[in-house]
């Protein structure tokens, strides 16, 4: 029996975390919820995370800074940004940093699921 993929949801908004948790579980995946980038960075083993859904604007480290920190490390799961801050400069920074996708809130659920499935299907 193969392992069920685990999706990290990193967002400081509780309602968004809960909605993403419901969505992830409805797709048959496991989820881990994090209230901040720092919360995620303290989690071990991060190698258990297969994909990430990340907000950009959070207190403390923002999503782009979290991405930069993870880019210094060996395990970098695919990141899908889901954010209200969808300006071109932020989108460009995320994509240049290796984001798998950059989606604006309110998110198109069908598109998010498609990106999530594609990110999980890509070879490590």
Full set of structural domains in the chain with CATH: 6-121 (3.40.50.2300)
Cα angle vertex 83, ends 13, 116, to 5°? 100
Q: Minimum mean pLDDT among 89-93, 99-103, 120-124: which range?
A: 120-124
Q: Is the pLDDT of residue 123 over 80?
A: no
Q: What is the pTM of this model?
A: 0.94
Window from 3-12, 31-40, 47-56, 83-92 with minimum mean pLDDT = 83-92
Instruction: Provide the mean pLDDT of the chain.
Output: 94
Alpha helices (H) along the chain = 14-26, 37-41, 63-70, 88-96, 109-121
């Amino acid at each position: 029996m193969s392992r069920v993929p685990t999706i990290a949801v990193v967002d400081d908004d509780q309602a968004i975390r809960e909605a993403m948790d419901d969505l992830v579980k409805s797709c048959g995946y496991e989820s881990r919820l994090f209230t901040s980038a720092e919360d995620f960075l303290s989690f071990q083993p991060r190698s258990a995370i297969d994909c990430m859904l990340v907000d950009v604007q959070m207190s403390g480290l923002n999503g782009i800074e979290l991405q930069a920190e993870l880019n210094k490390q060996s395990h970098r799961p695919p990141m899908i940004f889901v954010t209200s801050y969808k300006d071109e400069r932020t989108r460009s920074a995320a994509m240049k940093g290796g984001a798998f996708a950059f989606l604006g809130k309110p998110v198109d659920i069908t598109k998010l699921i498609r990106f999530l499935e594609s990110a999980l299907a890509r070879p490590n």
